[in-house]
Amino acid sequence: MNRIWWIAISIIIVFILSIMTLGCIKKPAVEVSDIALRDVSLTGTTVDVGLVINNTNPIGATLDKITYDVYLVNGEQVFLGHGEKDEKIHIRANGQTTVTMPTEISNTGIISALYQGISSKERPKIKVAGSVSLNLKLFSIDIPFEETVEI
Instruction: Give dist(CA 138, CA 131) in Å, integer.
Output: 19
Phi, psi of 25 (to 5 degrees): -115, 130
**Rounded to the nearest 5°, which phi and psi values hold at 36?**
-130, 140
- What percentage of the chain's residues is helix, strand, coil (to nearest 5)? 25, 55, 25
Q: Rounded to 5 degrees, what angle do the CA atoms 44, 112, 147 make?
A: 85
Distance of CA 39 to the CA centre of its chain: 22
Kindly give the confidence (pLDDT) of every residue in the chain, 151 residues in length, as a single tens digit, with 9 standing for 90 and above. 577 878 777 777 776 666 555 555 677 888 888 888 888 888 788 888 888 988 887 878 888 889 999 888 877 788 888 999 888 888 888 899 999 988 888 787 777 766 766 777 777 788 899 998 888 666 778 888 898 887 7
